[in-house]
Amino acid sequence: MQIIKDIGIAEHDREGRVIVAEFEHFFLFNVYVPNSGEELARLDYRQTWDIEFLAYLQQLQSKKPLIACGDFNVAHQEIDIARPKPNYNKSAGYTQVEIDGFSRFLDAGLIDTFRHFHPDTVAYNWWSFRAGARARNVGWRIDYVLTSQAQVSKVKQAFILPDITGSDHCPVGIEIDF
């Protein structure tokens, strides 16, 4: 295994958002995608990030399959957010710009493993600390495990573990055969 420290995108390397490990048969990414912030102040930066990070994923995916997991900071579909209408184009993580950015990952051949196995399941992995959101399950699904199309047949299951507490996020993961 080799850890790749410089992801080749100098502007983004300063924020320490990506760790890449190269294994014999695949690349493993752990990522924290920029949040668009209060009043969507970083939405333009987020849009640039999505484009450049996707290009980097595609560059490495041309060499071998990949798994990218982490906080992508976007609820991709209405099913991924408890209150879609009041948040749409008003809240960081649920703007059309962010949704389109994430859609480009999928259009490029990456698979949202949880949706692949659970197309109609309402499940969240992030809840605000405000107003008892977790207890009322008023959440968002913003953490993902994406795999290359070539890798998806090896994935046995994808899961979210909402009963694991200690953070405003809960674990997400996959079980995969190599």
Q: Which positions are annotated as active-site residues?
A: 32, 71
39-53 per-residue burial string, b: 16 or more CB within 10 A, e: under 16: ebebbeebbbbbeeb
Which tokens is 156 given? 């046995």
What backbone torsions phi and psi does residue 17 show, to the nearest 5 degrees?
-95, -10
Half-sphere exposure of 151 (CA within 13 A, CB side): 24
